[in-house]
Amino acid sequence: MFATRVASVLVAATALGFGALGSAASAADLKLKAPPPPPAESLDIHGFVDLSLKNDYMTPRGLLVTNTGLTTQILMGLAFDVYKDKAGFINDISFSGGVWNDLWSEQHNPVVDSWNEFDWFIGMNVKFAQNWTFGVQYIEFLSPPHAFPGIEKNVEFSLSYDDSKWNTVLPLHPYAKLFFAASGPSTVVLGKAGDTYDVELGLVPTYDLNKSGVPLVLTAPTWVTVGPKTYWNNGATGCGPSVLTPCATSNAGVFSTGLTGKTPLTFIPKRLGNWYADAGFQYYHLINDSLMLAQTITGTAASFASAHRDILVGFGGIGFGF
């Protein structure tokens, strides 16, 4: 449920750069100045850690998981470059892996307390033709307090295009993701359990204020999800005054857009990584009625009539990469 966040953290680590450490030398009493140090080699292993505080836990697929108290989400992982060729058709191949945790302040489970969800992932990215990136990622969603039965096993395929080299004013960074729910409970609660999918089509418009001397990058992540009707509803009823009222079926899931500001924390020494802080909001409009009905199962609404079709999630966080 965090794949979109993974994508944003990796972009942040790259955007802040991997600067080389410099050195200073005083040669006042030397006849010859010491030669400069050799240029630092670029790293083939990168790490990332991101911590976010949110008012709600909303998945990219439109499931409102929690909407009371404070949600704390922690992502961390490593990425390994195994192939690089700037001049070839295949420019970079990398493998990554990591974990993601969600903590909910209002959950007081006698065994795991606020630990609400644990996910782990492994994946591969291939950059090709200079501007294109294809990715595949295996992800498992687990519930420490057993809020959902079993393990949700998923595979996500992604294709993105970097238009920043020619669209320098406001790059759009278009992408598409195919999220295949291979087995386990439905990732949106009321949909088909396993062997189903949805597609996320999105843009990440980016405005870099560093060009005007302001250390801030603004992004507006925007996407819509589509897929088979059974992905969201596999026969559940209750979208109305009666538990027998059928839900209007649709191939569309959720529309989302928002604004994020990210700034580097330059007071932290580079030897400790490239640190940043971010804050913003994300707005979600639930197109599919079944996503609203699912809130009565997750406990974020008492009934379909009181369910939330429009949700605004505010957040702030800190992280670093190397």
What CATH number is attached to the domain comprising 135?
2.40.160.40
Give domain status of residue 34, yes or no. no
Helix (H) or strand (E) holding 232: helix 229-232
Give domain status of residue 32, yes or no. no
Give domain status of residue 314, yes or no. yes
Among 15, 1, 13, 2, which Cα is nearest to 207's?
15
Q: Which pLDDT does position 90 carry in this prediction?
A: 98
Give domain status of residue 19, yes or no. no
The alpha carbons of the chain give a radius of gyration, in whole angstroms, of 22
Neighbours of 274 (CB within 10 A): 22
pLDDT exceeds 60 at position 33: no
Mean pLDDT of 303-315: 98
Number of domains making up the chain = 1
Helix (H) or strand (E) holding 7: helix 3-16
Give domain status of residue 21, yes or no. no
Give domain status of residue 226, yes or no. yes
43: confidence class by pLDDT, cuts 50, 70, 90: confident
Give domain status of residue 39, yes or no. no
Phi, psi at residue 14, to the nearest 5°?
-70, -40
CB-count exposure of residue 292 (10 Å: 0-12, 13-18, 19+): buried
Q: Which pLDDT does position 11 carry in this prediction?
A: 43
Give domain status of residue 26, yes or no. no
Q: What is the pLDDT of residues 92-132, one digit of tens each?
A: 999 999 999 999 999 999 999 999 999 999 999 999 999 99
Residue 164 carries which side chain, given as an amino acid letter? Answer: S
Name the residue range of residue 62's domain.
Answer: 3-9+46-321
23: confidence class by pLDDT, cuts 50, 70, 90: very low
Residue 253 carries which side chain, given as an amino acid letter? Answer: G
What global pTM score does this model have?
A: 0.87
